[in-house]
Amino acid sequence: MRVRERFACLSLAAGLVLMASLQAKPASRDIQQLFDGSRAFAHIEALVALGPRIAGGPAERAAALYIAGAMTSCGLDVEIQEFPQTFFEDLGAALEVVGGPALSPLTMLYSPPGEFFGVEIVFCGLGHPQDFDGIDVAGKIALMRRGEITFASKIANAAAAGAAAGIVFNSVPGNMNATLYSMAAIPAVMISLEDGAILTGLLDEGPVAVNLTIDVVWYPSTSQNVIGTLQGLDPDEGIVYIGAHYDSVWHGPGANDDGTGIGAMLEAARVLTRYGHQTKATIKFCAFGAEEVGSVGSEYFVMTGEEEVVGRGLGMINLDMIGVGDTLNIGNIGWADSALTDYTREKAAVMGIQDWAPWTAGTNSDHVYFEWMGVPVVFLYQSPDPYYHTAEDTPDKIDVAVFARNGRLATAVLYDWAKNPPVLARQLATADVAE
């Protein structure tokens, strides 16, 4: 239902933005030059000093208040938009065959904790409801194969069949991080295809018992988006969004991911407000929470503000990891008009940036719901980052010159786009919505 709604929105908004045409752009060289890389970098250090900014946790909240303070001191109108978010921290999982090898499980995101000693495992195919027919899995651990249905569905089906826990093995070599999206009824881990072959091989010979422990901390909590608004000169003009996320993974300091995006965005806000650069369109500086657990904050922002985003959104600049690596990727998913991405690529060339590359973005960051709604997106992402989602994602890994250059590009594009907004026939949106 929700997906259908989204695709309906996409089709109407896509028709809408196809009517966009661009006016001449002013020079924005002065704007770029005002961007102070060391000020932007100081925001990264301040965020990292708070510790891992786990979605729904106290460090994430402290980061939100820090960002709100920085935005307020720029003179932006600041709103903190709260939404429900389970705090979840994985402290590790262990799995061993009784009298056999130790395997290497990964806790699924939103698995409850659990301890099982000498509990039998039962192979339950792909974990469809019918796969449990005639199988006695009550009080046992369901072993399932990845594929065809979501991890959450497999685990829910196993729970409905009475299983005490679930293990899913990968369908391709190696292990992977899996999410259940919300707290599951029973504990669940992911193992590699290779570990899965060990278990199914042993099951071919007879009953298999395992010891499985899953150690997590979780509690219902709230996360928040911090939205700073810079009112445009013309209320009838639309809104240009620039976004980055301030949460981090539980074991990561989150310097590049995404302290860099936040640092650059806050410096862009300082430049545009401090020096009195006014734009026709309104600018919304969006610091999103809970990105690492499924872009929850940006989804909340777009879905609760759908009328504004669809009706007034002129573009969205997403900054996620812009400080490590030798290539600046400039792109979008391809769902909406490419005007903003095209413009950013031109701007990069004009600014003399050599090491950028066109790129088709994935759906794993905060741009996705904007683009789904038909808003033109550009996603800036520097790569490769060998420290991605590790404890090594610290400020010293950031190439400050590259980071500042990317921040300057984002600031210039933001300014240009809001100063001379693309002309969108926004009234069409309401006409189509009525259908």
Instruction: Please state the closest distance from residue 145 (CB atom) to Zn ion, in A.
Output: 30
Question: What gap in Å lies between CA 253 and CA 266, rounded to an integer?
Answer: 19
Contact 46, 405 (CB under 8 A): no
Closer Cβ to Zn ion, 367 or 408, answer by number: 367
Residue 51 carries which side chain, given as an amino acid letter?
G
From 30-38, 196-204, 319-327, 400-408, span contacting Zn ion (CB under 5 A): 319-327
Instruction: Please state the closest distance from residue 321 (CB atom) to Zn ion, in A.
Output: 6
Closer Cβ to Zn ion, 170 or 365, answer by number: 365
Choose among 83, 213, 36, 207: nearest CA to 137.
207
Closer Cβ to Zn ion, 320 or 337, answer by number: 320
Tokens found for residue 187:
């504990």
Find the binder of Zn ion among 60, 247, 267, 320 (CB under 5 A).
Answer: 320
Closer Cβ to Zn ion, 32 or 318, answer by number: 318
Closer Cβ to Zn ion, 232 or 395, answer by number: 395
Instruction: Please state the closest distance from residue 53 (CB atom) to Zn ion, in A.
Output: 11
Closer Cβ to Zn ion, 169 or 370, answer by number: 370
Question: What gap in Å lies between CA 285 and CA 268, rounded to an integer?
Answer: 9
Report how many residues bind Zn ion under the rule CB under 5 A: 3
Instruction: Please state the closest distance from residue 424 (CB atom) to Zn ion, in A.
Output: 29
Question: What gap in Å lies between CA 260 and CA 265, rounded to an integer?
Answer: 8
Instruction: Please state the closest distance from residue 262 (CB atom) to Zn ion, in A.
Output: 10
From 9-17, 96-104, 110-118, 250-258, span contacting Zn ion (CB under 5 A): 250-258
Using the structure block, give the residue that is written with the tokens 């499924």: 294
Question: What gap in Å lies between CA 67 and CA 47, rounded to an integer?
Answer: 9
From 144-152, 194-202, 219-227, 312-320, span contacting Zn ion (CB under 5 A): 312-320
- Residue 131 within binding range of Zn ion, rule CB under 5 A: no
From 42-50, 53-61, 317-325, 326-334, span contacting Zn ion (CB under 5 A): 317-325
Instruction: Please state the closest distance from residue 43 (CB atom) to Zn ion, in A.
Output: 15
Question: What gap in Å lies between CA 23 and CA 163, rounded to an integer?
Answer: 62
Closer Cβ to Zn ion, 50 or 310, answer by number: 50
Instruction: Please state the closest distance from residue 324 (CB atom) to Zn ion, in A.
Output: 12
Closer Cβ to Zn ion, 251 or 274, answer by number: 251
Instruction: Please state the closest distance from residue 366 (CB atom) to Zn ion, in A.
Output: 8
Contact 281, 218 (CB under 8 A): no
Instruction: Please state the closest distance from residue 172 (CB atom) to Zn ion, in A.
Output: 24
From 64-72, 115-123, 255-263, 328-336, span contacting Zn ion (CB under 5 A): 255-263
- Residue 366 within binding range of Zn ion, rule CB under 5 A: no
Closer Cβ to Zn ion, 88 or 116, answer by number: 88
Task: Work out the angle between the directed axes of helices 37-48 and 58-74 (0-180°, nearest 10).
Answer: 150
From 49-57, 179-187, 257-265, 276-284, span contacting Zn ion (CB under 5 A): 257-265
Closer Cβ to Zn ion, 245 or 312, answer by number: 245
From 88-96, 112-120, 251-259, 271-279, span contacting Zn ion (CB under 5 A): 251-259
Instruction: Please state the closest distance from residue 348 (CB atom) to Zn ion, in A.
Output: 21
- Residue 257 within binding range of Zn ion, rule CB under 5 A: yes
Show the 3-state SS of 198-256: HHHHHHHHCCCEEEEEEEEEEEEEEEEEEEEEECCCCCCCCEEEEEEECCCCCCCCCHH
Choose among 348, 351, 350: nearest CA to 359.
348
From 8-16, 39-47, 151-159, 314-322, span contacting Zn ion (CB under 5 A): 314-322
Find the binder of Zn ion among 195, 258, 337, 371 (CB under 5 A).
Answer: 258
Closer Cβ to Zn ion, 90 or 257, answer by number: 257
Give the residues lining the site for Zn ion (CB under 5 A).
257-258, 320
